[in-house]
Amino acid sequence: MNGKEQGLWRDYYPDGKFAAEGHYEHGVEVGEWKYWDNGGVYIQETGLASEKADAAMQMLNAAGVVHGGRSDMRG
């Protein structure tokens, strides 16, 4: 849309495994974003309200146990 990302977005590693998945609105990452490591293990989830908002984040260790926190992205 006008040269900006819009809608569902998926990034992949060179071997075709998921790297990330989430949504863009007018070129800005919004909503829930999920991330996988290059071994295909789900490692992180973030919740983004807008470009300059608080982001809730959960990071998982190799055993799948949450060990992340909250990040303030306001400028």
Residue 37 lies in a domain: yes
pTM of the model: 0.59
Q: Is the dihedral of CA 56, 62, 67, 72 positive or negative?
A: negative
Side chain identity, residue 20: A
Strand partners, 22: 9
- pLDDT value at residue 53: 44
Domain count, the chain: 1
- pLDDT value at residue 12: 93
Question: At which residue do the structure tokens 């998926």 appear?
Answer: 10
DSSP 2-36: TTS--EEEEEE-TTS-EEEEEEEETTEEEEEEEEE
Residue 22 lies in a domain: no
- pLDDT value at residue 21: 93
Residue 14 lies in a domain: no
Residue 20 lies in a domain: no
**Better-predicted residue by pLDDT, 36 or 70:** 36
- pLDDT value at residue 51: 47
* Tokens encoding 50: 């807008």
Q: How many residues does the chain have?
A: 75
Residue 39 lies in a domain: yes
Residue range(s) defining the domain that contains residue 33: 29-75
Residue 17 lies in a domain: no
